[in-house]
């Protein structure tokens, strides 16, 4: 795994469940060549975890904040770490 590989963890707040948000996120992540998942949480948030080159993860983050997602995104809280490399593909969980 190269040094430019990162892990983005993004907690997405708003009306993001039951509106196709995870499917949309998975589609964008796959277009960018990222691995990871988008998972619903009981409190209404979606947790997006994506690994790949930093610039592609930043593009995904910008898309999550773009206002062009299904539903309504009120806030995205991000955290960055080194990629762990254990994921393949991008899943809706």
The whole-number pLDDT of residue 4 equals 87
Retrieve residue 77's tokens: 């809280």
Q: Alpha-carbon dihedral of residues 85, 30, 23, 69, nearest 10 degrees?
A: 110
The whole-number pLDDT of residue 43 equals 97
The yes-or-no answer on residue 68 being catalytic is: no
- pLDDT band at residue 2, thresholds of 50, 70 and 90? low
Interatomic CA distance for residues 37 and 47, integer angstroms: 8
Residue of 39, 40, 54, 65 marked active site: 40
Residue of 22, 26, 45, 56 marked active site: 22
Residue partners of 29: CB distance under 8 A and separation at least 6: 35, 36, 38, 48, 50, 60, 90
The yes-or-no answer on residue 22 being catalytic is: yes
Retrieve residue 71's tokens: 């539903």
- Taking the model in full, what pTM does it have? 0.95
The whole-number pLDDT of residue 18 equals 95
């Amino acid at each position: 795994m190269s040094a430019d590989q990162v892990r983005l963890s993004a907690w997405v707040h708003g009306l993001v469940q039951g509106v196709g948000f995870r499917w949309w996120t998975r589609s964008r992540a796959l277009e960018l060549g990222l691995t990871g998942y988008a998972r619903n949480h009981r409190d209404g948030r979606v947790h997006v975890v994506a690994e790949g080159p930093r610039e592609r993860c930043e593009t995904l983050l910008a898309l999550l904040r773009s206002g062009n997602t299904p539903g309504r995104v009120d806030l995205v809280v991000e955290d960055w770490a080194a990629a762990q490399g254990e994921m393949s593909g991008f899943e809706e969980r």
